[in-house]
Structure 1
Amino acid sequence: MDTQLITSGLGMIVGLILALTGAGGGILSVPLLVFFLHLPMQAASPIGLLAVGLASGLGALIGLYRGIVRYRAAILMGISGMLAAPFGILLAQYIPNRPLLLGFAFILLYNATRTFRQSSPAPLKPDQLACALKKDDVHLNWTLRCMRKIAGIGFMSGLLSGLIGVGGGFVIIPSLTRHSQLDIRSIQATSLAVITLVSVSGVSAAALHGSLSWPVAIPFASGSIAGLLVGQMWANKMSPQTIKHLFAGVSLFAALMMLSKVAGISPV
């Protein structure tokens, strides 16, 4: 089968999962590129980041049109993440491929198990949350504690985005779910907006370092955009609980793919 067709198909899977979960496509992009196209992590990360960034940008625009993007939180996380992403890109060039694969896999395993455990958490009281809603149940109460938490989430998202090319949504979604009362669909849309901003910084740094393979990146990114458009048709029909379970399942699947790659198991 033509390599570009396979690459586009893999990108479509990423865009589809990204539309349904708001993050899962990002954590799946690098494993797919490593596992099926045999790319090293250092080459797969910026390609995955470019594809996820473009697809997320489209998803964020759709979210803005629907009025569910928390743009102030997205801007704060985005700025913090954009400052951190180049450091992640630089750091990735000095870490051997095998430890990077293992580290990514264990992060995904932790994320999956935590999400499964918290799929039906006991609701926290507003005073226990870093970013509680105001009395109107619409706007966030922007305290200093909330601003620090939001900025910290963005920084960690950006650092991991540059380091392993995952977009950062797998950090943003669980963190906002844990520290705020926001609806899961609003969190998803906000995550997509942050991923878009962070990806600009990470992809630019990768391009300047000459570590972005355009012949692979273009069909992969094109497929991810097509997949996101298809996925948007189903996203609104899924329950929040189903979305959380799907997100955890994708994390687990991606972790197993990475571990099998480290063990030398490959399907092609």
Structure 2
Amino acid sequence: MLSLTGGVLGLIIGAVLGLTGAGGGIFAVPALVFGLGMDIRQAAPVALLAVGAAATLGALQGLRQGVVRYKAAMMLAAAGAVTAPLGVQFAHWLSPRWLNLIFVAIMLVVAYRMFMSSRGSQTQDDLADEPARVCKISKDTGRFVWNVRTATTLGSIGIVSGLATGMLGVGGGFIIVPALAHFSELRMHSIVATSLMVIALLSAVTVFIAWSHGMTLTAPAWTFVLTALVGMSLGRVLARRIPSKMLQRVFSITCVAVAALMLMRNVG
């Protein structure tokens, strides 16, 4: 029964990641906590393994399509790899209660930002196409114009996402996607694909750290990981057919609902 539950949850989480490039990790941890009865410390590395594997599949698709900005992704991941071990250490220092509260706070912030974005008159593609203040894109090549400000900005985004990845097992996409949309001139489909590559790389680093600390996976957890790959493929197909505003609003409402459940569990 638990393996079936893990399979259904993995399918859903993979689909969310494929649709948004940002939401898989946010929902993966609560899914494991409520669906498979794990505490947040156990759930975080399993969630990362599932999200990282699914993100790898999505990133490979993006690389074939030529929309991944791989140099930027490697810089973001390298910066995140520096702080991910610190995040893992924070997760061991903090009690599960405090980790739950931090997770709830992040979910509510993500829900608010996503909902406000959906109310705008412009689409996310339009927002991503506006002139960037920092990270500019060459009109000739479609790639970043590299300078100190671009490198510093991308490095800073990577540092924050790495810390969140290590501490909460959330992948970092919820930081990377809005940050790249705000600071760069990348189109949204390129932002999502680049985010998936960063998530894949950061997840690999953090899962390796967790494995070295004795992480083990049960059969339901493996089922969760494997079906997330199937969900990712479905999500990437559906992403072309669902209006972005509708997707953003459903995502934000679901975030609030899951945050409320996490908070009630914490209080109880």
> Which TM-score applies when normalising by structure 1?
0.91
Letter in 2 for 1:186: S
Tell me which residue corresponds to 1:213. 217
Distance 1:64 1:152 in 2: 24
The answer to whether the aligner puts 1:43 opposite 2:42 as a matched pair is: yes
Tell me which residue corresponds to 1:108. 107
Counterparts in 2 of 1:114 and 1:263: CA distance versus 1, 3 Å? same
The answer for unaligned runs of 5 or more in structure 2 is none
Aligned residues: 262
Superposition map of 1:80-229 within 5 A: 80-119=79-118, 120=120, 126=131, 129-136=133-140, 138-229=142-233
- Answer yes or no: is the 8 Å Cα contact 2:4–2:220 preserved in 1: no
Tell me which residue corresponds to 1:238. 242
The answer to whether the aligner puts 1:4 opposite 2:8 as a matched pair is: no
C-alpha offsets along residues 46-70 of structure 1, whole Å, 9 cap, x if unaligned? 0000000000000100111111111
Deviation at 1:174, TM superposition (A): 0.8
Fraction of identical pairs, as percent: 39
Letter in 2 for 1:187: I
State the secondary structure of the residue aligned to 1:93.
Answer: helix
Letter in 2 for 1:63: G
Counterparts in 2 of 1:132 and 1:248: CA distance versus 1, 3 Å? farther
> Which TM-score applies when normalising by structure 2?
0.91
Letter in 2 for 1:231: G
Distance 1:187 1:248 in 2: 19
C-alpha offsets along residues 81-129 of structure 1, whole Å, 9 cap, x if unaligned? 1222122112201110011101111011012112222332785963x52
Tell me which residue corresponds to 2:260. 256
Deviation at 1:248, TM superposition (A): 3.1
The answer for unaligned runs of 5 or more in structure 1 is none
State the secondary structure of the residue aligned to 1:223.
Answer: helix
Counterparts in 2 of 1:154 and 1:254: CA distance versus 1, 3 Å? farther
Distance 2:93 2:121 in 1: 39
Distance 2:121 2:185 in 1: 12
Distance 2:184 2:144 in 1: 8
- Answer yes or no: is the 8 Å Cα contact 1:43–1:213 preserved in 2: no
Tell me which residue corresponds to 1:73. 72
- Answer yes or no: is the 8 Å Cα contact 2:111–2:252 preserved in 1: yes
Counterparts in 2 of 1:75 and 1:243: CA distance versus 1, 3 Å? farther
Deviation at 1:45, TM superposition (A): 0.2
State the secondary structure of the residue aligned to 1:206.
Answer: helix
- Answer yes or no: is the 8 Å Cα contact 1:42–1:211 preserved in 2: no
Letter in 2 for 1:179: F
